Structure 1
Amino acid sequence: MSASSEQPIVAPITDSITETDADELKSTLQLCMLPGLGPRTLRSLLDYFGTPEQVLTASGPQLAAVHGVGPKLIHTIRTATHHVDPNEILSWCREHGCRLICRGGKDYPQGLEDLVDAPPILFVRGSLDAADEMSVAMVGTRHASTYGLQQAERLSYGLARAGVTVISGLARGIDTAAHNGAINGGGRTIAVLGGGLGKIYPKENAGLAKAIAADGAVISEYAPHATSRAGMFPQRNRLIASLSLATLVIEAPDRSGSLITANLAAEQNRTVLALPGPVTSRTSRGTNQLIRDGAVLIQTVDDILEALGPMNRPVSTADGNEVRNPAELKLNELERQVLSAIGETSTPIDSVIAASGLPAHRVVATISVLEMRRLIRRLSGQYVSRV
């Protein structure tokens, strides 16, 4: 009675919900939103039974056969209709312009697919774009100093201007400054909540959430009316880390939740960046320790773009360019022209000159710039290739 773990959790359902899909979606919501059912146990149940409906109709002994499922959870699943009303959730989503994006669907963020405990459903206000794969998480303390707030806004503004999506958690302090900086820079930002979309926390950021959704996205794995609790924020942090190419810690004291996000990013083979702070500042102890432990020290937007390195696959930007490395975002037209003439395998410099149509001295000088930016490498005196 088991199903292949390679199958998507549910059929991909996004904006349009047909009658055929409706029952499946309701079963999915009913199961996934049950209290006390975590993502890992949910994954085990679906691997064993195949579909949400089969889980919900399973007997007690059948449920008990799944690792991690005890008497309390069995009772919750068997009485699911007492705990979750999928019709109420769907009605709220329609009324408030909230999309449901299911794991396995084309709109589901690629960065989350590799998570063992990836959310089966995301509630989304706004839009998720393919270009959001080129993103940086910016996190830090809620009790930020003036220095921390200024640096978060400066760096997120610069990233937004460069075309990089800024991801954070809508919390007070650094998160708020990061979102505001991206909005002021005219770019995209994504807020990942530790509660439901209908219970924005903190309340004073409700207006900011609305502004983010206008040209970005506010997302949650929780039911709309779920109230934020302490245990939800570490869960939220794994999504922030997974959605981003790198996590930048702006300002964090010892034992900060931001350090948890940095550790999660490192576990997922994402780059960890940190902004140095005064050695006398309590709110910078965590970030300075991260640098001591191997995080990349950054001071400017160029530092961040350089640290991100090549991407797994090219991303199309708003201006129609195809980017393989975020550092390309800072190139001028001449530099792009030369880079586009260089292949991923050994390319003669004479061929680059011919393909670009530029004078030889311009091409040679530009190749040196691209090499310094670590976008290409020189294989010999007369051959180059992309990194």
Structure 2
Amino acid sequence: MTEETLYWAHLAGVEGVGGAIFDQLQRRFGSIKRALEAPVDEVLEIPGLDERTAEAVCRAHLTLEGTQKKLEELVQKGIDVITKMDADYPPRFRDAVNPPPLIYQLGKMENADQNAVAIIGSRECGDVSARRAREYGKYFAEMGLSVVSGYAFGVDINGHIGAIEGGGRTVIIPGCGIDVFDLKPLVPSGIEDFESLKKHAVVMTEQPPASDWSARSSLARNRLVAAHAKTILVLEARLHSSTLDTVEHAQKLGRPIFTQLFGSVSEKVMGNEKLRREGAGEIQSVDDLKKIVAAVMESSDSGSASTDDDDLRR
């Protein structure tokens, strides 16, 4: 861990400082370390930074020791702290609105992870959708694609499990801190500890290590799921839902959207029906998933990722 990483992690803990402020401080002072050591009047020159937040930034160095101790604990647990300036920062996160200044990462990103399908949907989904998520996740894994999602109960968890059961990879972007990330939902896939998890997954979060899940953090992570995914597959969604929030982010990035079709339309799947009417790709069964694989391969051919097509057919 570098000294600059320490300062980035420390600044990230200052309330009111997000990615845009990080960028401006970096440009204005040349490094985050210099920004934290700058006088208040100079920090106040940053547009959008109020006096209270500027003072908090300038006082932050007084509590640096606590952050250093925490980061050392994370490193001992095998957790990487990666800033936006680092070469191993997730490249597709840069596509997101307000990319996170730094992330906490458990496990290593592999080539297949750059070719990810987001399997998303309701946390209160029906048994059929849960079973489909697992089946589809396994299919994509067998095709050499990774499955990305937000680790919510219901569709998300089952998509992750399916990818692991298929012997493939999954990218987990939870709406909580790395210290409170819970492995229990993955037990059905055979994952028993973090070492076994790292063989099949990478966990990435922008939330402070001890942060519990919240509605706000859940919405924030949606933009990262959308950015990392090359395509989005919605299995079950209501009209006003976190799932459609993720879709909205993905649409702005030009990601292809696919939606599961249902024989009858109920309130639980009105989000799917909305997407169908808007022209999303239609999926009825596992046989239709080849359309999603083709969309990912087309994206790779266009040069939007560094991974070779051979990685899609391993």
TM-score (norm 1): 0.72
Distance 1:103 1:118 in 2: 8
> Which residue in 1 is equivalent to 2:142?
161
Q: 1:49 to 1:316 in 2, by over 3 A?
A: closer
Asked whether the 8 Å contact 1:240–1:261 carries over to 2, the reply is yes
Question: Pick from 105, 110, 118: which aligns with 1:124?
Answer: 105
Distance 1:155 1:206 in 2: 16
Question: Pick from 72, 86, 97: which aligns with 1:91?
Answer: 72
Cα drift, residue 121 of structure 1? 1.7
Cα drift, residue 212 of structure 1? 3.8
Q: Which whole-Å deviations, capped at 9, do the CAs of 1:146-183 have from their partners, x for residues lacking one?
A: 11111111111100010000001111111111011101
5+ residue gaps, structure 1, are 1-16, 331-387
Q: Which whole-Å deviations, capped at 9, do the CAs of 1:85-104 have from their partners, x for residues lacking one?
A: 32122122123111122223
Q: 1:270 to 1:57 in 2, by over 3 A?
A: same
> Which residue in 1 is equivalent to 2:120?
139
- What amino acid sits opposite 1:33 in the alignment? G
Question: Pick from 56, 60, 84: which aligns with 1:103?
Answer: 84
> Which residue in 1 is equivalent to 2:203?
218
Q: Which whole-Å deviations, capped at 9, do the CAs of 1:196-244 have from their partners, x for residues lacking one?
A: 110126x743756845433221111122112222111111111111111
Distance 2:21 2:79 in 1: 26
- Is 1:298 the counterpart of 2:283? The answer is yes
* Paired positions, count: 302
Q: Which whole-Å deviations, capped at 9, do the CAs of 1:23-76 have from their partners, x for residues lacking one?
A: 222112111232221222222222222211122122222122111101221132
Identity of aligned residues (%): 25
- Is 1:55 the counterpart of 2:35? The answer is yes
> Which residue in 2 is equivalent to 1:200?
181
Distance 1:316 1:264 in 2: 23
Distance 1:143 1:35 in 2: 33
> Which residue in 1 is equivalent to 2:163?
182
SS at match of 2:180: coil
> Which residue in 2 is equivalent to 1:362?
none
Residues 264-303 of structure 1 aligned to structure 2 (within 5 Å): 264-299=249-284, 300-303=288-291
Distance 1:37 1:45 in 2: 10
- Is 1:322 the counterpart of 2:310? The answer is yes
- Is 1:151 the counterpart of 2:132? The answer is yes
Residues 297-376 of structure 1 aligned to structure 2 (within 5 Å): 297-299=282-284, 300-308=288-296, 309-311=298-300, 312-313=302-303, 322=310, 329=313
SS at match of 1:198: helix
Asked whether the 8 Å contact 2:235–2:272 carries over to 1, the reply is yes
- Is 1:235 the counterpart of 2:220? The answer is yes
Asked whether the 8 Å contact 1:167–1:189 carries over to 2, the reply is yes
- What amino acid sits opposite 1:69 in the alignment? L
Asked whether the 8 Å contact 1:34–1:83 carries over to 2, the reply is no
RMSD: 2.3
Q: 1:106 to 1:74 in 2, by over 3 A?
A: closer
Asked whether the 8 Å contact 2:235–2:259 carries over to 1, the reply is yes
> Which residue in 2 is equivalent to 1:351?
none
Q: Which whole-Å deviations, capped at 9, do the CAs of 1:94-138 have from their partners, x for residues lacking one?
A: 231111222233322221223352122221111101231111111
SS at match of 1:136: strand
Cα drift, residue 81 of structure 1? 4.4
SS at match of 1:231: helix
- What amino acid sits opposite 1:322 in the alignment? D
SS at match of 1:228: coil
Asked whether the 8 Å contact 1:132–1:164 carries over to 2, the reply is yes
Highest RCO, 1 vs 2 (Cα 8 Å, sep ≥ 6): 2
Distance 2:149 2:186 in 1: 15
Asked whether the 8 Å contact 2:121–2:234 carries over to 1, the reply is yes
Residues 35-50 of structure 1 aligned to structure 2 (within 5 Å): 35-50=15-30
Asked whether the 8 Å contact 2:225–2:246 carries over to 1, the reply is yes
TM-score (norm 2): 0.88
